[in-house]
Structure 1
């Protein structure tokens, strides 16, 4: 009873303080409109399991610049291209910081991660490494052969499944392929394989880690609860982060040993980083920094690309006329029974439109990584206070009726006569973000996603698993670090 009484008193004190703070804040500055917050919890109950969707609905009532109180975390939600441009371009410097969830603080990840580091000298040097040494056209061209080998393995796996009439779990196939594409580029190795028990364990570790980072955490909404770790999120994230960092650590140690025993060097990003770490300009690039950088790249590159490729296959199977157009273009330009090359994609305008339409309908990170204001900023006559969390709802931007006709329909043709790209300048279409915090791996994703989808459809026709009709395919979204299908797509490759 004593503890219960103490807890009730504590809640009352927190509520009274919060309510007083809210009244002072509302009276001192004109904040953007939003739903009225409940005591203590604020607007938390108005977020569903798919927050990008519930926030899009709320913005229809309260506008494209909307206030939310998530516990003690004041949040602004942006849902229009014009305001997204102001936030991410005009006031880019003011909103370049991040809100850091407790889960991302495991193993001090936030202190060395490019995704969470504040914009400063160290962050700029890491970005420079990514731009010049990791994702430059020259580097990506050099590692293209490694990626083609992994795509050939995907094609061989699909051929075996075709010969046996076997159902393919598209989510699993795309995950294995993207993970191996990333590991080939980063480490010159293949991490996993099709029909392997190790694959299932690796995939589960990925899913567990991405899920734990995305789970709403009371410790983030109510800082005084953080030390209690009521949901066990910090404990679990320490375990999962540690497991992945241990895996990466083993790969780095193996490379260091091989470098000492041989003068031959691998042509991959690990070799580049180890070389840079020995120079004076990048002396801060320690083994710890390299490990966490690779952790970012593996998760950002593998999970998001795999889920987007699965969405592409889903949309094409549900829209057979679009599938037919894409396959016809591939076969006309490239020919039958040939492996698609990365250089071929630029000659496939309709297929490029398909990829863009998938990214519009199913952006990999529907709310991006949250931004944070470093100081008070005026936007459209409203005050955005310092320390405000900023959510840019790119899912809502891609479905805005005033910008996109028939926004809920899958229509690649809309991109054929429209000069628009996803590189951060067209704010109605920013699946990879914009400004200085734009996804640094965009050049690699721009190669991996199209070439993998092309490999899936070029030499194979597809049908849904027995007993499933197109109208029965579940298209429910599962929110997380990436936007997954709640129910994995299963289909059978067949000979054309």
Structure 2
């Protein structure tokens, strides 16, 4: 027995010594250093932890697992970031590793196999498209050239509101703002409004765009669960084929009409005309194909319609719930512009409080609540090993609510942008606020969106008082968020407009 006790004591001593020596001398293994991970289930991983509003679910998980954590969505490893400091590491310090968008098979198909600017992988082709966009399509000169389109459509929108106000009829502003932004984008792109034209064999472009946005925003199980990779369980693949076929027929007709006008020496004043010029330019280093043109047109519609409409809708919702703020905004507009003309884009620089309202709206209600990227190589970020082909979700919605950067982060208070945060902008340099992304892959349509949001929201509060509900008797507006590719309201904003100024002679 004594021999056994001695042997056991010797064995334990050797075992402990071996473990200590191994722990002390073992080589560093960064691959074992991964972010904290919630408990996962077989096959589905952490999918059970996600709600229909992933940005809210991620924010809730971050309170338990920290500002960076790892989730397994099906069989796909993903990193979630809810901290401005860590977001900066991904989007700036190590940007070269995270320039590709996270793959979405539905969006990829809708964009003609990622032949667009938004979803195509970073590389020579993407750089070529970005150069075209920034130098010819969405630059200051082109936006100025098309300013009359925006001015005319906003005037028409204000006139529509005036008609409703005169008869005391409430408006579904979610629907009407979508019509406005779709019409502006459609005229700027193709020279015609986004309406049904059955005589030309066309479709309702506005509804089609809405359906495509919804399809692209759906979570596709086949992208994340390897067992379902070859299956179309949700029918999204079938739906995407039908939607793109409809879009293709419509856009092909419009392109052919433009080409016919060009053959006879005519020239249309829109972005499609510029794209057709580029397609025929033999000096271009990369040839622009027909599918490239269609994919880019789709990009502009998907990125520039419901995002702008929802931002205006959120902004007015907040203003209705904060009468003291809307009163201050109206006083600024009347003091700066007067009551004899409608607010114009050129007035925006002289309206700092209106600018602060828009910034505060974008902070609390960013149109794109999550930035999705994919790593192209292994890297170390925030002290963690991030393998190649990992999806990265930057929770923009959470960044704008970080209590370490924002005082009373859930409070709508535009004055914060007139105080210590007044230097903060929305162009990707301040990582506690990234409504348009950051770096090389940030949204190229910032200027257009800013023009539309400021001018439309400003004109709406310049000319009208807004009362919530169909009968105008609701005490406040609900702020519940809805599901979608962009951050939309769960319920459209329905309001009764009451005219304060007569906008019809102003806008004529």
Q: Which runs of 4+ in 1 moved over 6 A?
A: none
Q: Residue 435 of structure 1: which of 433, 439, 442 is its match?
A: 439
Q: Residue 388 of structure 2: which of 386, 389, 394 is its match?
A: 386
Residue 77 of structure 1 aligns to a residue whose secondary structure is strand
Q: 1:153 to 1:192 in 2, by over 3 A?
A: farther
CA distance in 1 between partners of 2:121 and 2:80 (Å)? 21
Q: Residue 44 of structure 1: which of 44, 47, 57 is its match?
A: 47
Paired residues, number: 465
Q: Residue 217 of structure 2: which of 209, 214, 217 is its match?
A: 214
Instruction: Say if 2:82 and 2:394, in contact at 8 Å, map to a contact too.
Output: yes
Structure with bigger gyration radius: 2
Give me the TM-score of the superposition, normalised by structure 1.
0.90
Q: Residue 141 of structure 1: which of 133, 140, 144 is its match?
A: 144
1:200, distance to aligned residue in structure 2 (A) = 11
Partner of 1:458: 462
Q: After superposition, what is the alpha-carbon deviation per residue over 1:47-97, rounded to whole angstroms, capped at 9, x for unaligned? A: 001110010010111111110000111000111111111100111110111
Q: Which runs of 5+ in 2 are unaligned?
A: 1-28, 501-508
CA distance in 2 between partners of 1:123 and 1:27 (Å)? 32
CA distance in 1 between partners of 2:448 and 2:406 (Å)? 27
1:174, distance to aligned residue in structure 2 (A) = 0.8
Instruction: Say if 2:343 and 2:458, in contact at 8 Å, map to a contact too.
Output: yes
Which residues in structure 2 correspond to 1:317-466 (within 5 Å)?
Answer: 317-368=320-371, 370-417=372-419, 418=421, 419-466=423-470
1:34, distance to aligned residue in structure 2 (A) = 2.2
Instruction: Say if 1:422 and 1:431, in contact at 8 Å, map to a contact too.
Output: yes
Which residues in structure 2 correspond to 1:267-278 (within 5 Å)?
Answer: 267-278=269-280
1:466, distance to aligned residue in structure 2 (A) = 4.7
Residue 493, structure 1, aligned to residue 500, structure 2? no
Output the aligned Cα RMSD: 1.9
1:201, distance to aligned residue in structure 2 (A) = 4.8
Instruction: Say if 2:332 and 2:351, in contact at 8 Å, map to a contact too.
Output: yes
CA distance in 1 between partners of 2:343 and 2:360 (Å)? 21
CA distance in 1 between partners of 2:445 and 2:145 (Å)? 16
Q: 1:282 to 1:460 in 2, by over 3 A?
A: farther
Instruction: Say if 1:51 and 1:479, in contact at 8 Å, map to a contact too.
Output: no
Q: After superposition, what is the alpha-carbon deviation per residue over 1:108-139, rounded to whole angstroms, capped at 9, x for unaligned? A: 62430211111111110110111110111111
Instruction: Say if 2:405 and 2:432, in contact at 8 Å, map to a contact too.
Output: yes
Q: Which runs of 5+ in 1 are unaligned?
A: 1-25
Q: Residue 482 of structure 1: which of 480, 483, 486 is its match?
A: 486
Q: 1:469 to 1:392 in 2, by over 3 A?
A: farther
CA distance in 1 between partners of 2:456 and 2:109 (Å)? 33
CA distance in 1 between partners of 2:105 and 2:496 (Å)? 42
Partner of 1:130: 133
Give me the TM-score of the superposition, normalised by structure 2.
0.88
